[in-house]
Amino acid sequence: MAIITILLSIASIVLLITKLKVHPFLALLLVSLVLGVASGMDAANVISATQEGFGGTIGRIGLIIVLGVMIGAFLEKTGGALVLANKMLSLIGTKRVITAMGIIGYVVSIPVFSDSAFVLLSALNKGLTKKAGLSLAGTSVALGLGLSCTHALVPPTPGPVAAAGILEADLGIVMGFGMIAAGAALAAALLFAHKVAAKVDIAVDEPDEEATPTPTYVPSLFASSLPIVVPILLIVGKSLSANLGGDGWQGRVNGFFIFFGEPVIALMVGFMLCLLLPKKLDKNMLSTEGWVGKALTDSATIILVTGAGGIFGKILQNSGVAATLGEALTSSSFGIFLPFLLAAALKSAQGSSTVALVTTASVIAPLMGSLGFTGELDKALVVVAIGAGSLVVSHVNDSFFWVFTQLTGMNIQTGYKLHTTGTLVIGATAMAVVYTMFCIVH
């Protein structure tokens, strides 16, 4: 009955989102409340679980999501993301355009949403592709898949941050494992782009010069790198210095990272460094109508969906459904593949990687003990396994599928052949790496 209850709940969420076009936040909230009542919880306990699930989840990760989105907004609006892209291109070489675009996507999508980043880098991609005399298919697939790798696997992108918060995983360890899995997925993406996508002939349209004007000022490479590099170093530093202590220099180093390596503080430092990016900091950039206001609006949806996912998980836990399901699954042979398969099913069914990450993490969180995922390394690997599943597969119910096909001029059939198949390749590759790391840890 526990398994049937979970399956019906997930099916209801997918049906509400895909068929009835209900917002994911409302779908998760409604199903959570119905699940609580149907499982025999009284009204007081349902209300208590709802408040605890929402408040506890948002309390842990709400500010992290907001700050991450604001950093991405400043990098996008000031041209800092393009500066990073052009520098990587110069290092890799314009003759290796497919490889360059994949690596550019891998780096840029750490702070910037993949949809926005693809739009931002589309003109650069088309210009380089035309100059190199290549098919747009190969370079675009490399860029799109490179963006997807880190979007689903590496914090501070909101999806992995939300999953890590729900599962109470160490963000520094998640970053380390996520970058390894995303790096392997990128290698598979580049191989797919070179061997499969590049053979599909798609010509480059003449770029619209007025649509993509050259900015009069762009920040330096050093300034553009700081908002990404510094928070990552601080967060990873906190994880690495956890065993340091005492009254000497080790204790001082540990004390420094305990404060500045806390994800909220690290990302606040990153945001403060973003203020160095504009030529002149205008107060309107920080206003309700400016860049910060737009970033807060964009992050609100992610935060609400994440909070609703927290409610779903808390209802599962307090109702006893999770415990019963955990006992049933303990004897199963799925292991670390369980979160991957659940996330993959949710991603394929409703399209959003973030919703797949949040919902899967909410279902898995109450089961972690029963499944034996109790250590910090286990928690981080489960987060990355969920991220790998949230890549499989992107198709017509995913907004990124349409951004990709419309900007490249691909029809739906070609989009399925290249983009959808490509996301299957990178998701499966990332999961293979997660399984390998899990075996090494154990």
Side-chain half-sphere CA neighbours of 71 within 13 A: 34
- Phi-psi region for residue 116, left (φ > 0), alpha (ψ -120 to 50) or beta? alpha
Residue in this structure with the two tokens 């314009």, named with its chain if needed: 94
How confident is the model over 89-99, as a mean pLDDT? 83
- pLDDT of res. 317: 78
Please report which confidence band the pLDDT of residue 436 belongs to, taking 50, 70 and 90 as the band edges: very high
Q: What is the pLDDT of residue 180?
A: 96
Q: What is the pLDDT of residue 212?
A: 47
When pLDDT is cut at 50, 70 and 90, the band that residue 403 belongs to is confident
Q: Taking 80 as the threshold, does the pLDDT of residue 48 lie above it?
A: yes
**Model confidence at 193: pLDDT above 50:** yes
Closest by CA position to 379, among listed 179, 172, 164, 232 = 164
Residue range 401-407: mean pLDDT, rounded: 87
Q: Which residue has the higher pLDDT, 324 or 76?
A: 76
Q: What is the pLDDT of residues 254-287, one digit of tens each?
A: 788 889 988 889 889 999 999 999 988 888 899 9
User: In this predicted structure, which of 118-132, 231-245, 350-364, 398-412 has the lowest mean pLDDT?
Assistant: 231-245
pLDDT computed for residue 149 by the predictor: 95
pLDDT of residue 210: 43
What is the pLDDT, as a whole number, of residue 244? 60
Read off the pLDDT band of 169 (50, 70, 90). Answer: very high
The pLDDT assigned to 211 comes to 45
| pLDDT surpasses 50 at 74 | yes
The pLDDT tens digits for 366-401 are: 889 888 899 999 999 999 999 999 999 888 778 888
Task: Find the domain containing 36 and state its range.
Answer: 2-441
- Average pLDDT over every residue of 169-182: 94
Are 342 and 363 in contact, with CB atoms under 8 Å apart? yes
pLDDT band at 236 (very low <50, low <70, confident <90, very high): confident
User: How much of the chain exceeds pLDDT 90, in percent?
Assistant: 38
**Average pLDDT in the chain:** 86
From 54, 72, 25, 27, select the one nearest 296 (Cα to Cα).
72
Beta-carbon contacts of 31 under 8 Å, excluding residues fewer than 6 positions away, are 9, 12, 13, 16, 312
Number of domains within the chain: 1
pLDDT of residue 170: 92
